[in-house]
Amino acid sequence: MEKIIVKLQQRSYPVIISEKLFDDDSYFWPLSVGDKVVFITNDRVAPIYLNILSNILDNLGMITDQLILPDGEKNKSLITLNTIFNKLLQQNYDRSTVLIALGGGVIGDITGFAAAIYKRGIRFIQIPTTLLAQVDASIGGKTGINHILGKNMIGAFHQPIAVMINLDVLHTLTMKEFSSGLAEIIKYAVSLDSDFFSWLEFHLDDLLNLNSSSLTYCIRRCCELKASVVSIDEYDQKGIRSSLNLGHTYGHAIESYLGYTRWSHGEAVAAGIMLAATTALRLNQFSHNDVKRIKLLLMRANLPIRGPKEMTPGSYLDYMIRDKKTILGQINLVLPVAIGHVKTFFNVNHELIFSSIEDTNN
């Protein structure tokens, strides 16, 4: 078992990593006998894990309930959020209730947002069941839902009381889902840790083959990097946490354009990383060799290296202009300046963005 502490000024919390998390009830120490717990999950995860975890908590003396939502990014919406509120209010759950997000990034984001604003804030626990959620989405307290005009445009900061990562769940993922998580892992390496990038170049095949020791090291390293950034800049006000947004401005534009269908978040981020690297190259801030290294690693991870064919440069701009980092119509982009280091470039010229998209897509 590995434990990483996300150190915050007001309250810290553990990220627990284990291969057998669901086999040992001692991991559920943040809960107490008599706690009312509501599992929020989806119709794909529930048949695999919900009864196992419900039985563990029932045996520990907690009172459990559940809400099963439809799977998919398109369901990270106000309609689904209201479904959660209807459940909680109809059953008269009070401010002592604990929500457990059992699922991927969508379930984690929407459960966290519900916990942030239900009766002005209740506790929640993250139990991420996808690689992407384990290394990124479950840690840091960014919660929210999508809008038809932009991804994650409605949300709040609300930290969990614990993140509980079970490595065994990765064996149930499809290759598309696993590769989606690899995109965020590659993002960490490009943004924050050149040694980790080199490690990925050498060990990527081990990860694809679900090698236990490689997975444990990789997930722990990502959690360490995320925790260190969040501890310094919890509310994304110091310009440090923005380093985690590499590829996301371009990537969110892809997801929004496609209506949160067809492409996963990780696939969109992967294309966004390549677009960001190409933009940095056009600014003479990044080397051709490093662009090639990123491109090769993404390809080996079975990830896209260009956006959807039907997207024009103008269609990217329509969504990028609404990005949370855009201020007064000025698009600000997180771009790599070396493997392991990124920088925010302010008021990036629209023509430069157009040219970078065309370069990447050719």
pLDDT at residue 20 is higher than 90: no
pLDDT for 329: 82
All structural domains of the chain, each given as residue ranges with its CATH number in brackets, are 2-172 (3.40.50.1970), 175-361 (1.20.1090.10)
Question: In this predicted model, what pLDDT tens digit does every residue of 68-105 receive, in sequence order?
Answer: 999 999 999 999 999 999 999 999 999 999 999 999 99
pLDDT band at 135 (very low <50, low <70, confident <90, very high): very high
pLDDT at residue 36 is higher than 90: yes
Q: pTM of the entire structure?
A: 0.95
For residues 172-191, average pLDDT: 97
pLDDT band at 326 (very low <50, low <70, confident <90, very high): confident
pLDDT band at 340 (very low <50, low <70, confident <90, very high): very high
pLDDT at residue 295 is higher than 80: yes
**Percent of the chain whose pLDDT exceeds 70:** 100
pLDDT band at 235 (very low <50, low <70, confident <90, very high): very high
pLDDT at residue 328 is higher than 80: no
For residues 284-296, average pLDDT: 98
pLDDT at residue 347 is higher than 90: yes
Q: Which of 89-103, 250-264, 302-316, 320-334 has the lowest mean pLDDT?
A: 320-334
pLDDT at residue 24 is higher than 80: no
pLDDT at residue 144 is higher than 90: yes
pLDDT band at 213 (very low <50, low <70, confident <90, very high): very high
pLDDT at residue 28 is higher than 90: no
**Percent of the chain whose pLDDT exceeds 90:** 90
pLDDT at residue 360 is higher than 80: yes
Average pLDDT, the chain: 95
pLDDT for 123: 97
For residues 122-146, average pLDDT: 97
Tell me how far apart the alpha carbons of residues 331 and 147 are, in angstroms, rounded to a whole number: 20
pLDDT band at 204 (very low <50, low <70, confident <90, very high): very high
